[in-house]
């Protein structure tokens, strides 16, 4: 399988991707736990059907010490007992923030309040930004049919 467009080789799309990636790197310095960030990026990528990003975030999370059990259960986090209340609140916000078109009025107040109960303002800012950025990357990959499976840990720095 070959991508419809190599958006990293095209100067127009490469410039846009560069800025999205820089925005993402700034979030690495936030106090949002890295495990939460990876779980959110994985769950959003699952929802959006982005195999390339699912590949990236399962490999990066495992490399960072995430357990296989938790990685396998992200798609069914509501029924799983292996996630903290803070992680569950982040995953719920990620799902609602990704499926905005499915719910008139956007993210419900209860979902936001639950996330705010477990995360301070800086963590919420990082969480919202992470959700927005991974949705952008998912769309780039899904639109261009970027194939999954060949990602190497640390490949993008």
The CA-based diameter of the chain, rounded to the nearest angstrom, is: 46
What percent of the chain is predicted at pLDDT more than 90?
Answer: 80
**Cα dist. 34→28, 30, 37, 155 in Å?**
8, 9, 5, 18
Q: Is the pLDDT of residue 103 over 80?
A: no
Cα 70 to Cα 100: distance, rounded to the nearest angstrom? 26
Residue-wise pLDDT for 45-101, tens only, equals: 999 999 999 999 999 999 999 999 999 999 999 999 999 999 999 999 999 999 998
Going by pLDDT thresholds of 50, 70 and 90, the confidence category of residue 157 is confident
- Number of other CB atoms surrounding residue 67 within 10 Å: 11
Cα 96 to Cα 100: distance, rounded to the nearest angstrom? 6
Cα 85 to Cα 87: distance, rounded to the nearest angstrom? 5
> Domains, the chain, ranges and CATH?
11-144 (1.20.1290.10)
Cα 57 to Cα 48: distance, rounded to the nearest angstrom? 14
């Amino acid at each position: 399988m070959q991508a419809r467009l190599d958006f990293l080789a095209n100067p127009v799309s490469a410039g846009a991707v560069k800025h999205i990636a820089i925005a993402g790197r700034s979030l690495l310095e936030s106090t949002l736990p890295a495990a939460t960030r990876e779980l959110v990026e994985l769950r959003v990528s699952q929802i959006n059907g982005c195999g390339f990003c699912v590949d990236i975030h399962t490999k990066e999370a495992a490399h960072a010490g995430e357990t296989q059990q938790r990685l396998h259960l992200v798609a069914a986090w509501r029924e799983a007992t292996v996630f903290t209340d803070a992680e569950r609140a982040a995953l719920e916000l990620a799902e609602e923030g990704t499926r905005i078109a499915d719910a008139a009025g956007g993210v419900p107040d209860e979902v936001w309040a639950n996330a705010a109960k477990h995360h301070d303002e800086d963590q919420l800012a990082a969480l919202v930004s992470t959700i927005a950025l991974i949705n952008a990357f998912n769309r780039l990959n899904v639109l261009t049919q970027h194939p999954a499976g060949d990602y190497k840990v640390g490949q993008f720095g």
